[in-house]
């Protein structure tokens, strides 16, 4: 494992108790950062903090509750210091339906969590980064946001929105030494698959030229560099993690 130097930095990882978020948190802790995990599940948060050790802490946060996000941001900056790094990993897949049959409440839920939740967290964290003239943000999108997946229109639309949000915000903050980038993973074996039909999971695997799902540690490796000081120029960009499925 290459060593990324994040000593003395403070990071927030949403959805950090499981899946890609937890793998990212592990990599950031190993690189010297203090990490605050934000997640809905207190049980998963407790287990994650125990596994990560004394430089990790947790706040139970619902990312669709802006007031809770603002309070969590203030707590991190009071308890841990200036918030240097943000990784937005919290998300839901939603159910498989064709668009004309997609349940309206499920559409709203998927967009609210994946797109609006990403906006809420960025909105709460960015002012402090601007005031300090430094920050690194990674928003996790998906290959679905580039290509669209059949019977997953809400997720595809929301993740496309995350890409647009990232490009816009990256340009807004470019002169503040704040890098804002997105990653677009292919399917990884995480609990988000629990929401999907087995035949759809098989379809997703068939689209990946490498012939396997993404390993969460592979995502963490890319993200660790993107949130480091070494990433001093690239911003408003989308980095592929699709095993060759998308190449643009």
DSSP 71-112: HHHHHHHHHT-S--EEEE--------B-GGG--HHHHHHHHI
- Going by the DSSP 8-state scheme, the letter that residue 214 receives in this structure is B
DSSP 116-172: IHHHHHHHHHHHHHHHHT-EEEEEE--HHHHH--TTBHHHHHHHHHHHHHHHHHHHH
- The two tokens of residue 153 are 């229109």
Among 66, 120, 134, 155, the one annotated catalytic: 155
N-term to C-term CA, the chain: 27
- The two tokens of residue 206 are 């068939």
155 counts as catalytic: yes
- Going by the DSSP 8-state scheme, the letter that residue 192 receives in this structure is G
Q: What residues act catalytically?
A: 155
């Amino acid at each position: 494992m290459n060593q990324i130097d994040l000593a003395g930095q403070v990071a927030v990882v949403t959805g950090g108790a499981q899946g890609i978020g937890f793998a990212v948190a592990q990599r950031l802790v190993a690189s010297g950062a203090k990490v605050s995990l934000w997640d809905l599940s207190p049980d998963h948060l407790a287990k994650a903090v125990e596994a990560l050790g004394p430089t990790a802490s947790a706040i139970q946060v619902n990312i669709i509750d802006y007031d809770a996000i603002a309070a969590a941001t203030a707590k991190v900056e009071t308890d841990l210091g200036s918030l240097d790094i943000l990784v937005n990993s919290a998300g839901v897949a939603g159910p498989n339906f064709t668009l004309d049959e997609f349940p309206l409440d499920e559409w709203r839920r998927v967009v609210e969590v994946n797109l609006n939740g990403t906006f809420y967290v960025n909105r709460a964290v960015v002012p402090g980064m601007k005031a300090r003239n430094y920050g690194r943000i990674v928003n996790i999108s998906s290959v679905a946001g580039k290509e669209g997946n059949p019977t997953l229109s809400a997720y595809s639309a929301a993740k496309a929105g995350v890409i647009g949000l990232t490009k816009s915000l990256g340009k807004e903050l470019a002169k503040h030494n704040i890098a804002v980038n997105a990653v677009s993973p292919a399917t990884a074996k995480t609990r988000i698959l629990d929401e999907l039909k087995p035949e759809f999971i098989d379809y997703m695997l068939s689209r990946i030229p490498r012939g396997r799902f993404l390993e969460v540690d592979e995502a963490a490796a890319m993200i660790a560099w993107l949130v480091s000081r070494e990433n001093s120029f690239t911003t408003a960009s989308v980095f592929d993690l699709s095993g060759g499925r998308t190449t643009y």
